[in-house]
Amino acid sequence: MKLRQSFLSALTLVLASTFVNAQDAAALTGPGLPSRKPAVTTDGLERLISRSKLLAHAEQFFSFAQLSNGNRAFGSKGHEATIQYIKRLLDRTGYYDVEFQTFTYPYAESRSQLTVDGKDLLTQAFTYSPGGDVTAPIAIVSNVGCEASDYPTLTGKIALIKRGDCDFGLKVAYAGGAGASGAIIYTNVDTAPSGGTLGQPSRPEGPYVPSAFIHKADGEAFISRINAGEEVVASIHATAISEDRSTSNVIATTKQGDRDNIIVAGAHSDSVPAGPGLNDDGSGSMGILEVALNLAKFKVKNAVRFIWWSAEEFGLVGSEYYVEHLSDEERQKIALYLNFDMIASPNAGFFVFDGDGNATDIPGPAGSEVIETLYRGYFDSHNIRTGSAVFGGSSDYQPFVDVGIPSGGLMTGAGGLKTAEGAEWWGGEAGVAYDRCYHQLCDNLENLFVDAWERNSKAIAYSIATYAQGIEGIPRTPRPPTRTLRVSKLSYEQRLHLTCDHDDDAA
């Protein structure tokens, strides 16, 4: 490998020196001359992945979010700018067939602002919370507000309710039923509130009212003031959007390479409505983009297809659409799928998808264990320990897994807490979320842990270079003719929750 590498470098040098200027030299590895490009090698591709280029993309992604209220949710201006940017850079290489695969899906977004004493509090909104402006004194609801009897008459009041024991929607409906003009729920643990949903209206307990989700400390501060006899007046400013949106997956396939053995790598291009999504999943999107742009300097044996999924955050909508629309023949031609969703978490762990299922009891389709071994070997060789990520259905690998395509991938962790062992292995803080800005406004440029991001992007390059040259060990046996994707059986509501932290659901 080393020998071949230096031979190729020498060859490139000799050839380059026959050109008059640097521009001509660049043309040697540019578009239009695929036959003269060197065959891709793991070292060759990995070496081209640089943090400065990743960061330059990140600046762009962040600026796109500013086009639409600070987020890149599917179908928004910020998201549209994201996918146009990806397509433009890929088109420029001349190396890929790039297409938009367009579909329509219902979009729902709620925003809430809570203001007390002229101060805006850290607030999250619940999906299906109605829009409206309410100003009223806060009244405390007993217990955790899971029984109608916990609610006094609340006419002209905003109900203050503790999280836990039953779902958010029941609490807000009870508050509405008791006559409240608004409802505030505060967390029962010491973590920032993340998004949640009230569940689709309507409910027998009462009407939904404008609502807000706040931190435990803020809720408890109100309670002590009220218990001391003070009147605390709050204002809720809530907006709600519900509309069908058209959006697209970006699909880029190398013009060269064997299209009967396609290597597919994916990341989702959309963010949650709550924030710019630089780690989730800007990091994966930019990671595969940088690998794709550099792969264009090489020759491949197998075709490589990079896909940027849309509407992942609404329940794997883009990846489901793609897999569902593959013919049996096309499905058979996909050799394997690699998923990269969150690869730059600020308190990162290094997780490899558990292809053989020996750590999580959920194996991927046959061949997935080969992908797992490749990544574990990669990190071993860089003296980085690896944890196991589970094929639990919360990202775009799932439709591929469902139809029997060998799958794998990497991630650095979402809202879960890093263990003591994890902190020993990877540094960072035990007992703190891998990404404390998961699905929040603060998933911005500062939230990217560039060391982890660069390492994982290099690991992507390593895997793409490996499989672009051969898929030894990956079975190419005919796949079962299953067409049923797990995600298709879920309701809109359940799908929306697929990509949430499940500890946010009710308790």
Q: Which residues are catalytically annotated? A: 312
Interacting residues toward Zn ion by CB under 5 A? 280-281, 341
In this structure, are residues 34 and 238 in contact, taking their beta carbons and an 8 Å threshold? no
Comparison of 302 and 339: residue with beta carbon closer to Zn ion: 339
Comparison of 80 and 341: residue with beta carbon closer to Zn ion: 341
Comparison of 208 and 340: residue with beta carbon closer to Zn ion: 340
C-alpha to C-alpha distances, 22 to 15, 29, 30, 263, 467, nearest whole angstrom: 12, 12, 12, 33, 31
Gyration radius of the chain's alpha carbons:
25
Smallest distance from the beta carbon of 105 to Zn ion, in angstroms?
A: 16
Task: Please state, in angstroms and rounded to a whole number, the distance separating the CA atoms of residues 339 and 398.
Answer: 10
In this structure, are residues 28 and 19 in contact, taking their beta carbons and an 8 Å threshold? yes
Comparison of 349 and 404: residue with beta carbon closer to Zn ion: 349
Comparison of 46 and 280: residue with beta carbon closer to Zn ion: 280
Task: Please state, in angstroms and rounded to a whole number, the distance separating the CA atoms of residues 188 and 215.
Answer: 8
C-alpha to C-alpha distances, 285 to 119, 206, 212, 269, nearest whole angstrom: 36, 43, 31, 6
Q: Is the peptide bond before 68 cis (omega within 30 degrees of 0)?
A: no
Task: Output the CA torsion sign for 38, 40, 43, 47.
Answer: positive
Task: Please state, in angstroms and rounded to a whole number, the distance separating the CA atoms of residues 374 and 305.
Answer: 19
Comparison of 157 and 495: residue with beta carbon closer to Zn ion: 495
Closest CA to 198 of 244, 163, 222: 163
Closest CA to 488 of 288, 352, 262, 321: 321
